[in-house]
Structures are given as C-alpha cells and as structure tokens.
Structure 1
Amino acid sequence: MKAFLTTECAMAIDPALAADTCTYMEAIAGDGGVHDATGVWWLSPDIQLIGSASGADKADPGVDNTVDVTLHSVAGTTCAIPPGTESLTIDLWVANPSLAMAPNNSASTAHIDSIGMPSLAAGGSETHQFHWMPAVGLPASDPQAPGHKCLIARCYADPLIPSATNFFAPDDPHVAQHNICIVPCGGPGAAKRPAGCGLDVTTVNPDVRKPQRTRLRATFDLNPSAAVREVVLKRLKNTKGFGRLSSTPPRRFELRLREFPKAKVTDGTKGGGAKRPPAYEAEITLEPAQVIALRFVADLSGAKLGDAYIFHLMQAGPEGQSQGGLTVVMMAI
C-alpha cells in the first residue's frame, strides 16, 4: 500500500480552514487528527451510520437512519481558532460505495445536513447525532439510495467557509471518511459452491479544472492491522455465516472498468509474499470532476464456507497522493 501511495507531495489541507488548528476528526482512534495518508484512513471511528432495519453502514428508505459524528479539540493552549468563533459547524455527506468523493457533485455525494454545536473545551470530544430519512424509490445510482453507504464529515469553527469543491481528504484534520462494505457471496443454492461476487463502486476526479492521470488499486489484506481487524470483526460478528478471516488470497480479483477498455492494467493478484500482497491496478485518465462507475469482482470459488476476505480499494492522483479508499469484505456463505 505504501509503495502505491506517496507522502512526497505537499500535504493538501483546505486553506480556508487553516485558521482553525484546534478542531479535528480521527481517521484511526487516537491519531489526534494526524491522518496517515499511506494507510487505511477511510475507516474513521468518528462517523457511525446505523440503519433502522439494516444496521451498521447501511441506509433504509423512508425511515429514520442515525449518523453519529464525533469531534475533538486539541489539548493544551498550542492551537488557535479564528476571532469571533462562537460555535462549531459539522457538515455531513453520504455516497454510494465510493473511493474519492466531491462535495459539490450530486452524482458523487448528497449533503445530508449541516449543524452547529458549542465549541469544545481544550482536549474535549463531543458527539452529535444526525437523523436522516432517505426518500423511497430512489434509483440505485442516487447517493441516498438504500444499501451500503459511504460517509464523509467535516468540522470547523463557524466563521470559516470551507471549500465547496474539494474535501482535501485524507490530509485535512477537519475531515474524516467512513467507507466499508460487507458483501456476503453465494446465497441459497450456492452454499456448497462459493462463487465469485462483485460490488459496484463510484469514484470522481476531485480536480474540477483539469484532467488527472488516476491509478486505481485493489489489494487483498494479508495481515490486517489491529484497527482494521477491530472494525471488520465488529461487523462480521453480526453477519450470518461468518466463520473466520481468510489469510489465503482468493483465486482472482479485479477492477472492471467498462468505460475504459484501454486502461493500463497490472495484474498482481498472485502476489509475491508478505512484502507484495496480491493486488490489481489500473491506470486511467479522468476528465475534470468526472464521476465514473466501476465494479470490483472476486472469485471465491474454492473458499471454505464462512471465509471472509478483506480487500482495500484505493485511488491515487498523478503524484501518487491518496484521494480515496474503500474497504470491501467478501464472505463465502
């Protein structure tokens, strides 16, 4: 993962929020708002969606879905907020399973709400609960359609006006993202023959002015970090048929890009040991603000029933900078 991404380019932080050095959200619990752009930064514990019927990370139409968003303040007196600050603002967006997302692109995200809350004491944390009722009958392409959802939140001192076109994730400490999908594969009639399955995914060129050379990558996680294991297992324990996390890669997986039949593809799904985990990579060029759909597919034939496979899907920009990510857990049932 670290070879795919780079930290050599300058950190991308929203200049409009630079005056607030106190308020932050965490990508990994305890990171203090310092997000590791070369790691799995899109499983923030500070954003939690609970569908009324479907449960964690899913939305149900026509009923109340709750989203808990947690903010933090830097401890001590080393940070600053703009003069005249009276409260904090939280913005919340929702999307279909996605890699990169954009705040002003209705094909990419939907703005759920923005609320104000009291300023935090130094070193303090506070959680606000959003109530979201998606409309019934939305098409699957709508960011508010039912099913697995990706969420992104932004918090900042109220006198500030953040960018309307870019989230500046993952570097900006004011922004956090929560993107994970649990995908049971098989179903009735296939219980003895775990088969391949897939997930539709959306992404966007976050640059609204110029085309970008973009690399998309899917990798099988041979050795999940403690943070990844915690998030994944918390969800799998409530998933019928789960047996174990697989440490053996599936036979094959790939990114299908119907809009880019000439994409430059590197198929490394056979892997190369612990230092080179199985991966599939595609290089394409996206037009300014272009939103595309792709499909992630894994062949689970030969898997043991109950095996769960952790994949990370990532997007990198022209300088190797991380632009988005999604964790997909496919399980043979």
Structure 2
Amino acid sequence: MQRYHIATDRYIATQQSRIWFFGMTPRAGGAARKLLALVKASGLHDAPLVLERLEREHGVTTKDELVEVLRDRKRASEIPASWLQSLRTQLGEPEAPDTGVMAAPLNTISRHVSIEEIGGTVLSKWKPNGDEVGPELVVMQGDLTACKTDAIVNAANSRLMHGGGLAGAIVRRGGAEIQTESSAWIKRHGKLPVGAAMSTAAGKLPCKYVVHTVGPNVSRFPSPMPEHTEELRKAVWNALLEAERLELTSIAIPGISTGIFGYPRDQGAQEIVQECVRFSDERSSTCLRLIALMNIDDPTVSSFVRALQDVKDRGETTTARSTEQSAQPEEEITAPIINQLSSIKIRE
C-alpha cells in the first residue's frame, strides 16, 4: 500500500488548487509537475520528499534550476550523492566527483554513539536483514528525554500543543523553543494530519531532533478500527522517513498512541514493530542504522519485547522453512513455529 510523507499530501494538494508547495502561483503548476515526473523517472524513492528538500535548500522549482544546481560543483556537493547520481543520469549531465554516499557506513553508530551510550537498558535486539545493510531494532527501557539517539519521536497531537504526557516532558526538559517552533509550523501549515510527521530542533535535549508524529486516538472506541491500524503504521513509517530525510543514523520511538490515546499496548506494539521491520526490509539502504523502541514503563516495554520476539520468531521460521523447502518435498516439512515468548523476562 502506498505510504505518504506529509510532503506527498501537500504536493498532490497543490496540483489540485494552488502551488504553495514551492511558493509558486497556479500558473507554474506545469513546471512543478514536470519536475516531479523527472525525479520519479530517476528512480528515487519518495519524489515529493526529494523535491521539498531541493526547493528548501537550493531554491529548485523547475528543471532548468535543477540543471543549474547540478552544474555548480559547490552546490551539487551539498546534495546527497545517491540523489545526485540518479538526477545526473536522468538529465544526461556529466557525473560529479565522488562526494560520499547518503547511507551511513555500517559502523557509524558504534563510532558516534554506541547502544550502551544511548541511555537505558537493552532488553532485546534484532537485525531483520541479518548481516546485510539495514537498521537494527533494539527494545530499551529508559527515559526518552535523556536518550542520545540522533532523534527521538514525540507522540504528538495534531495541533502540536505539547502540554502533557511525553510531549510535555520533552518540552520541560528541552525548553520552550520546541513548542515555539512547533507553533510556528502550525501557523504556516495548519494541523498536522494523523499519520503524518514533522521535526523540530531538540533544544536542550541530548538528541539532535525531535520528530513529532500523530497517532490515532482510539479512546472513544471499544477497540481500534482498521483505519486506526493504518494510521498508526503511517505515523511510524513517516517518522522514520523524516529521520531519513534529515540523514540521521539513529532514532528512538515510544509506544505511539498507547497512552492517553487509548491504543491497546500489545496491539500497538505489534503494529509499531511490524512497521519498523517493513521499513528495514523495504529501505535497507537507508541512512538509519539503529531504531530503538523505548519507553520508561514496564507494561509498554514488555509489549515491545513480546512483539519483537514474535516477529523475529516468524521471520526465522519463514527463513528456515524456505531453506528446507528448497532441499526436500513440501509435504515433508512439518516443523511447527515455536513460541518462545514465555522465556522472555524483563530486567527489574
């Protein structure tokens, strides 16, 4: 199913009404559509996200302006190399000297911040792609406001009013500038839709950014509806995309919507973990190298541990069965999935 970064919805809306995405008038819509088509044709994922950054950092709103930037060695060096190569190839422009790759090397996390330095207790970890490139998932118990990952995720409301719960704690520790920047964003763009994400500076927090994402509020429902599940998954996906847009290598995610928004802890943890795994599988070349699932309270952390173990067991079983199936007839494969959740213990 198609997943949208907040920029995607904005870009589509501009084609239907006014082209404020690039600060253009409606008359300039054709140029914007052509530029979007060009970026898509280059093979880059999340074309609207790429366009948003090119416009914000380089003033690119048309194909000619993009060509001008690509021909300027200094300006081109500021574009992620993977984007640069794809765009140059699509436009037939000469290749620039190697300026590095967008994805961080595998040892980036250990070189800049080890799991032990992040803060908190490691309870479980798993790398969905094995030894291949891709982020590692780690369940940790600790104070998110003291976490030293590049970014932490705030389970926000659509008005980005950080008054209580985790959001309030983030502002109290990080400073009023987090709320000020959030309010300024709301003034410019309106409410942040459920499932969308944006980021602010982290103020006095030990991380670099706070990624604010809005999960579904199911407190008035007897149980989550299918659309709530989709919204929660989108909130996780878009938070990870925002970290990727910022070219971060680590991020910490709490139990989005499992607090006052009323999403059942176990079910919410399962959706969050499964979406992180899907992100790891589908975007294995991402710059992210560590996704920490972190909460301070025992019940939520326990749910994360069970959810990760469940996904890990299913993944390992699937791999084992695939290996056996290639060596013997299907009818001979009868090994059941072993449930190991009963052996999991949370450290006191």
TM-score of the pair, normalised by structure 1: 0.26
Structure (1 or 2) with the larger CA radius of gyration: 2
Higher helix share: 2
Higher strand share: 1
TM-score of the pair, normalised by structure 2: 0.25
The higher-RCO structure (CA 8 Å, 6+ apart) is 1
